[in-house]
Amino acid sequence: MITKHVSHQNSILNKFIAEIRDKKIQKDSLRFRTNIERMGEIISYEMSKTLDFKEKNIETPLGTKNMNVLNDQVVLASILRAGLPLHMGVLRIFDDAENAFISAYRQHIEGSDEFNIHVDYIATPSVDNKILVLVDPMLATGQSLISVYQKLLEFGTPKQVHVISIIGSEQGIHHIDKHLPEDAYLWIADFDKELNHKGYIVPGLGDAGDLAYGKKL
């Protein structure tokens, strides 16, 4: 797997990362969602540089011009519900992408902090010979993302796999590296070294789904 740490070079992306981490600023759920969407746009632009393009003759009101346009069909796949703001940011860049949505959650083992990943809903087009983009803002253990990826393989073999994430743990990155193809890409805004005993990223930012859409029961 090829890892691209997008905030390694300073840019406006760093401001957005700081704001979604800041425990005071992140209380504004609209701003939190907007910052996630902005980061999706920035990371998608960087990702687009690796895709295939073809020459196309474009007619303007005054003539014609040969232009290079995207030659790949993209499928964006997001895990509900935390992935939605990031998905929308990516979709603004790849605005003719097909879309897949998956419900996956941690099913905790009673009396333990250990858990299994349960996938109970999936709506997806074929991913066969397409660019599969897995959109997941928080790459903690990496188990959810790999469970979703393996489920999507039932719908075809992708031409290439990309992961777009905001914050990941070193453990999560190592886990997906073992399960994704060697030519897969991970595009990540930032990463932290630690996971706590419940499998949450430290210092991280908290629960991305709750911050974007409110606390759940």
Write the DSSP string, 107-143.
Answer: EEPTTSS-EEEEEEEEE----TTSEEEEE-SEESSSH
Answer yes or no: are the C-beta atoms of 188 and 201 closer than 8 Å: no
Beta bridge partners of 155: none
> Residue 66: how many CA atoms within 13 Å on its side-chain side?
3
Rounded Cα gap, residues 162 and 148, in angstroms: 13
What are the tokens at 78? 């997001």
Q: Are strands 63-70 and 74-80 parallel, antiparallel or unpaired?
A: unpaired
Answer yes or no: are the C-beta atoms of 90 and 133 closer than 8 Å: yes
H helix intervals, the chain: 12-21, 29-48, 84-93, 143-152, 170-179, 208-213
The pLDDT score that the predictor gives to residue 118 is 74
- What does residue 62 show for φ and ψ, rounded to 5 degrees? -120, 0
Domains contained in the chain, CATH given: 2-52+68-213 (3.40.50.2020)
The pLDDT score that the predictor gives to residue 198 is 79
The pLDDT score that the predictor gives to residue 157 is 98
The pLDDT score that the predictor gives to residue 107 is 65
The pLDDT score that the predictor gives to residue 113 is 60
The pLDDT score that the predictor gives to residue 186 is 98
Amino acid at position 7, single letter? S
What are the tokens at 57? 């003759």
CA distances to 42, 92, 119, 169 from 179, rounded to whole Å, are: 26, 29, 18, 16
- Per-residue pLDDT tens digits of the chain, which is 217 residues long: 999 999 999 999 999 999 999 999 999 999 999 999 999 999 999 999 999 999 999 999 999 999 999 999 999 999 988 899 999 999 999 999 999 999 877 665 666 666 677 788 899 999 999 999 999 999 999 989 999 999 999 999 999 999 999 999 999 999 999 999 999 999 999 999 989 987 889 999 999 999 999 998 7
